[in-house]
Every structure is written in structure tokens, then in C-alpha cells.
Amino acid sequence: EWIRRRAAGKLRASAVVASAAGIAIVLCIATFARSRTYADPELFWRRAAAAMPGNPRPLEQLGMVLFLQQPTRNQAAESVFVKAMSLDSSCEAACLPYSELLMREGRFAEAVALLERQRREDPGSHFRLAAQKLLALGWMKLGRYDRAVPYLERIVQIDAKLSDFIALGVSYLSVGRRDEAVATFRFMATFDPGSMELQRLSKRLQDGVNHPEALSNIQEFAFTMTQGWL
């Protein structure tokens, strides 16, 4: 419009139309190129990280893209997460997805250390439920059920799912708190009194409390039930 007004009376209408068409073509090409970037999450976040080299958030997102790809690119994702954390002393960025990567690789001690660091840096309400679940599961995998119990007790107050109560009951049993384990397994049956399958599961777990030799099997069952936490 600016060109049309400036050129009014100086250029032929066809020249003005041709100029407008040329501008439109250039903008269409630019839009197409930008759309390709948006269609490729890895390319998008790599460019964002390059544009904001001191910001850990684009690196966190890039790491998640690499981690969630099939097949996953864990080594590349880990490198990006570590770089993001070097830019964020609070561990708010990248700590949670990086700890999940470590957990999936069976590096539980590293994952727990990272999550405990995040808890110390951000002890308030922003310490998310997902992080607490990963911490509880990590401590269970390390055989430190005593360290898992406090997190699991908070989780069941927030989430109250079957897998959470199974993990809590098994952890109670693993540290010798048999009465609390029985109470937890018994409470599970109240979730759905009409479900015979749930009633049988509750009864089997309560019976397992009286058989120390079954503890390892019950622990494995708890890990099976908590697979969805990762």
C-alpha cells in the first residue's frame, strides 16, 4: 500500500501489481521455509537454542525431542540435558527429563541424586508429582525402601491410584512395618468393592505379609505395577 501510494501517477498499474505479486511470492517462500522448521521439532529447537545460547529452556526441549524419538537417541539427549543444566544452577530445567532418561537406562543412583538435588533447590509446590514418583521408584530400585516411604505417603495423598498404594504397601512390608502394609493392602479393596479381581489381589497381598519368603516376588510385582511411572 505504501508503494502504491508513493508510485501513484508515476508507475503503470501493471507495474504496481507486478511489484505486489513479487513481494507476495517472497513472503510465501519465507513462510514455507519457516513452516518446514515448525514441522521438524528437532530443527526448531536447535535453531531456538542457537538463537538463545544462554537460555536452558530450548536445550531442555531439544533433549526431550531426542529422548522421545523412536528409536531414542539417549546419548545425544543426555549431552543436551547436561548442557542445559550447566546454564541453570537451580536444576529447574532438564533435571526431570534427564532423570527419567537415567532411570530408563537403569542408572538409578544417578537419577536419585539428580532428583534429590532438584528437591533441595525447589522444595515447594513446584516439586512435581512426577518427580516424587521417580524418586520413590528410584529408591525402591536401589533397595532403600525406607527412603521411598515418605515420598509414597505424599503421593497417595495427591494421586491415590492403585499402583501408588501397592508401592506404598510393599515398601512398608520391606522395612518391617507389617501392620501398615496390611492396612494399606486392605484399604485397596475399598477402591471398588464390586471388583472380585481387586478383592482377590488385596487378599493375596495381605496373605503375602505372613510369608517372608514371598517378599522378593511381591517387590517384583510392585515394580511391574509402577512401570507406568516412567
DSSP string, 175-224: TT-HHHHHHHHHHHTTS-TT-HHHHHHHHHHHHHTT-GGGHHHHHHHHHH
Question: Taking all residues of the chain, what is their mean pLDDT, rounded to a whole number?
Answer: 86
Residue 131 has pLDDT above 80, yes or no: yes
Express each pLDDT in 151-160 by its tens digit: 999 999 988 8
Question: What percentage of residues in the chain have a pLDDT greater than 70?
Answer: 88
Dihedral angle of Cα 43, 45, 46, 52, to the nearest 10 degrees: 150
**209 touches 182 (CB < 8 A):** yes
Residue-level pLDDT at 125: 47
Residue with cell 509402577: 226
Residue 23 has pLDDT above 70, yes or no: yes
Residue 214 has pLDDT above 80, yes or no: yes
In angstroms, the first-to-last Cα distance of the chain is 56
CA distance 190 to 176: 24
CA distance 47 to 65: 13
Return the number of other C-beta atoms located less than 10 Å from residue 45's C-beta.
Answer: 22
* 38 pLDDT tier (thresholds 50, 70, 90): low
C-alpha separations of 193 from 44, 98, 159, 197, 198 in Å: 50, 40, 19, 10, 8
**163 touches 224 (CB < 8 A):** no
- Which pTM value belongs to this model? 0.75
Residue 124 has pLDDT above 60, yes or no: no
Q: Which three cell numbers stand for residue 89?
A: 544452577
* 134 pLDDT tier (thresholds 50, 70, 90): very high
CA distance 23 to 18: 9
C-alpha separations of 138 from 148, 172, 223 in Å: 8, 16, 11
C-alpha separations of 168 from 60, 180, 195 in Å: 31, 9, 21
